Chain A
Amino acid sequence: MKTLVKTSIKLLFRSKAFWFFLVLMPMLSTFILTLKFDSSAAFGDGNEEKIIELANADEKVAYRGGKGEYLIKVYDASGSDLSEYFLQKICDSGMFLVHRADLTKDDIKDQANEEFITDHIEKDGYEDRMGVAIYLTPDFDEAVLDGDYRKALTIYVLSEDSRTEVLEDEIAFQLSRIKDMGTIDALEKVDEYIPEKTIETVAGGDGRNLTTTQINQKTQMGYAFSFLTLGFVFCGIFVAHASIKEQKNGVLTRINLTKAGTLQYFVSKFITGFVIAVMFATVESVCSIMLDFDDLGMNRFKFIGMIFLMGLIFSSLSMLIGILLGDIMSSNVAAFTIWCMSALLSGLYFPLNYTSNALKVLSFLMPQKWFVTGAEMIFVGDNNAFPMLICITAAYLAVIISLGSLGLKIRRTDSWGNS
């Protein structure tokens, strides 16, 4: 066995393509991941019943809401206490998520004319996702108190959501209220009579209540899992490629004529894959200097540990596929497709809450699903995360190794390879 492993590793190390790939892939993946992290405005950083302040008017709101929330983007050229009150009331109503772009800042207030708003609305319509955009004019206070509501604000409807009507009614009601009361003090006095509201979210079946920051970090972990495991898939292909060559040139048949059996052979390939995965993880841990671990909600060691374990599963799986298919092209395509789809179906890019039960069940077959769960456990300080992940990894690997040696036995050809 030792010689088989030694030989496999030697053959890999002597391949220039392998070294090129080992160094470049983690660098590229990590670099692109940093782009993703930098760009991700992701979720709001606090209470949903607070107005979310956007960094600037160009910032998108699409990903600040989860599925189903009604997003409002406000271009606030007023900046007054009354406009703040008005927006807060819309927020407090419970159904709407209000995001404000402050147009009263020094660097922008001169540019914030009608053309500016029109351009942004056009972008919002095609490159962002929201229920409506609202423009509060600089004369908002005056206009509302005068009852000239058309001068106070403009609502731009950017969806077919039926809640838009509800919003319009709510806006009309709040404006009418403001006009009737006249001052913020008066309004707040009336608000005191409204019963106090408390909201509590009851967790779903998994029983974990994540904060918004943790949800954000979970999303980032999902992207990290995708980007950083891609290379592991191809690690396995390299090992499989060597094995396919051995099948074709008769070396495997020769090995079968020795005391080394099919299981031993496959295990030796697995060990080779393991060693390569360790090397790959080491390179990735060096490249991870580029990452900000605050975004990920865990320290470097835990992060690399998770990536390594998941990567090991995928590299073993792609190796299994390669060895069983016996053809490097098909195995490349199959391994890549399986990895791609398992990422999608495990809910890495979208929550699976709203999918069918069959798909929810199917998602549990995907390794990424378990690792996302593990990440959640780490976020909430559950110490059982890594033992669970190690067990899951061992389970997947046991299945892969068994299938691999069984498949090789079945596949054994009658001839000395296909050379």
Chain B
Amino acid sequence: MGTILKTKDLTKKYDNKVVVDNLNIEIQEGEIFGLLGPNGAGKSTTMNMICGIVRPTLGDVEFMEKDFLKNRKKLIENLGYIPQELAIHGNLKAWENVELFTSLYGIKGAELKERIDESLEYVGLLDKKNEYAKTFSGGMKRRLNIACAIGHHPKLLIFDEPTVGIDPQSRNFILDKIKMSNKNGATIIYTSHYMEEVEAICTRIAIMDNGKVIATGTSEELKKMVTDDTSSITLEEVFLTMTGKKLRDY
């Protein structure tokens, strides 16, 4: 298992504000990598730079051992991004949404039809395929959001707070599916504010604050950085200890 994604001194500045500061992370193939941080830590900006939505001020992103920005067109089909915001068409049916985004990776014909059904079944929406997305509940929309990103079988999936504002059943469903995707060979980057989710599914976690990674390791390793008695502390407490309890008004 090699390194699937590597950032080298990744930096992003907006005017005089440094949002991401010399970020160096390595993500191994097959792992579920969690990225934690308070509001304004730079997580979303980091994800956007990794996907190529935002151009870094400095630094590189290496994806599958190639410079991602220079080889974007060839490498993009190996990436799937599930944004925090719902990026679906309300006036299209579920299958039409999946068809739109999957077909843009060059998949067509019978294979496309197969992938649509597969993706919808994966997120538990196959029986709703002919319904308009705008009629879906919040949880269903989130699941459809995921289905739109996995139809092209990407090697790397980035989940940016995928469980915001949904019920526990839907959340549980999504987390199970993430684990299943990982078992099927996909590498996952997962960002969230919900510590218990991150603890439950991530193999390795990085904590970001003020644009920098302040700690990386497994859940156990992070707890050990704060206290020897790892059973007496939660990941949330570790997080608060490392980042502080002060409100972040960005």
* Residue ranges of A at the interface with B (Cβ–Cβ < 8 Å): 2-4, 7, 10-11, 14-15, 246, 249-251, 253-260, 414-417, 419
Contact = CB atoms under 8 A, between A and B. Distances in A.
Contacts of A250: 83, 85-87
A251 B104 CA distance: 12
A237 B245 CA distance: 49
A249 B91 contact: no
Contacts of A246: 89
25 contacts: A3-B103, A4-B100, A7-B96, A7-B100, A11-B89, A11-B91, A14-B91, A249-B85, A250-B85, A251-B89, A254-B81, A254-B148, A255-B101, A257-B53, A257-B81, A258-B101, A258-B105, A259-B76, A259-B104, A414-B45, A414-B54, A415-B48, A416-B53, A417-B87, A419-B86
B51 A7 contact: no
Nearest to B100: A7
B197 to A, nearest CB: 21
Contacts of B79: 257
A417 B53 CA distance: 11
A416 B86 CA distance: 9
A416 B83 CA distance: 8
A364 B24 CA distance: 57
Interface in B149-207: 149
Interface residues of B, number: 31
A251 B91 CA distance: 13
Interface centre among B53, B76, B77, B106 (most CB of A within 10 A): B53
Contacts of A11: 89, 91-92
A15 B88 CA distance: 17
B84 interface: yes
A7 B105 contact: no
B244 interface: no
Given A259-B104, A259-B105, 14 more contacts: A2-B103, A7-B92, A7-B96, A7-B100, A250-B85, A254-B101, A255-B104, A258-B105, A260-B104, A414-B45, A414-B48, A414-B53, A416-B84, A419-B86
B87 A249 contact: yes
Nearest to B12: A414
Interface in B1-47: 44-45
A214 to B, nearest CB: 49
A255 to B, nearest CB: 6
B73 interface: yes
A253 B53 contact: yes
B99 interface: yes
Contacts of A255: 101, 104
